Amino acid sequence: MLPPLPIRTAQTGEAFYYLYFMSKFLYTKPFSSYQKQLEQPSFMTLEIVSFGTLSRLYENLKSDLAKREISQTFGLADVVFISWLHALVYIRNVCAHHSRIWNKLLQIQPLFPRRTQNTWLTSLNVCNNHMYYILSIIIYLLNVVNPNHTFKKKLENLFLKYPNIDRAAMGFPANWHNELLWK
């Protein structure tokens, strides 16, 4: 059994207690008391927390070493990884509330990585407050966790299905298809 994650705030522990108490998943029932949650397998927690909570959980890890180990799995610095997670949470929330994203100027702007261990954008003339940058982040992360993903192909099919969508309004540069990340 894995030890509980060391986190910085008491509120996070209270939030987990609420999640377990309210959870309808049968496998969480043996851990419904606050004391037993301290002994819970981490995979159970990760199954029921929201993406936003997961992002905050990562940010609130006490150990900078733990943060670095996780972010290095993705070939990123921990501060860049945190900013990317927050940006993805923001986009997820915008989508969940049925708001427009295709030509939206994003309120949360993810950081530009100085260097990555995996293929990233080569152009420095990219705005990090448009969907192109968010989509590039998604592709980068998917390339790490599932190199055989079909996200790019599905996106290309959407562009073919809706040719009137202005990609420039989404922040796509003129030569975006030449980027190795997008090939």
Dump pLDDT digits (tens) for 120-149: 999 888 999 999 999 999 999 999 999 999
Question: Does the reported pTM lie above 0.85?
Answer: no
Per the CB < 8 A criterion, the answer to whether 84 and 141 are in contact is yes
pLDDT at 108 over 50: yes
Q: Among candidates 64, 70, 75, which has minimal Cα distance to 6?
A: 64
* Amino acid 138: pLDDT: 98
Phi and psi, residue 18, nearest 5°: -60, -45
Confidence class for position 102, pLDDT limits 50, 70, 90 = confident
Per the CB < 8 A criterion, the answer to whether 169 and 103 are in contact is yes
Fill in the amino acid letter for 113. Answer: P
| CA 51 – CA 4 distance, rounded (Å) | 18
* Amino acid 14: pLDDT: 52
Phi and psi, residue 65, nearest 5°: -65, -45
Mean pLDDT along residues 152-177: 94
H/E stretch holding 162: none
Structure tokens at 66: 């733990």
Per the CB < 8 A criterion, the answer to whether 106 and 134 are in contact is yes
> Between helices 64-73 and 78-96, what is the axis angle to 10°?
70
Tell me what percent of the residues of the chain surpass a pLDDT of 70.
Answer: 74
pLDDT at 19 over 80: no
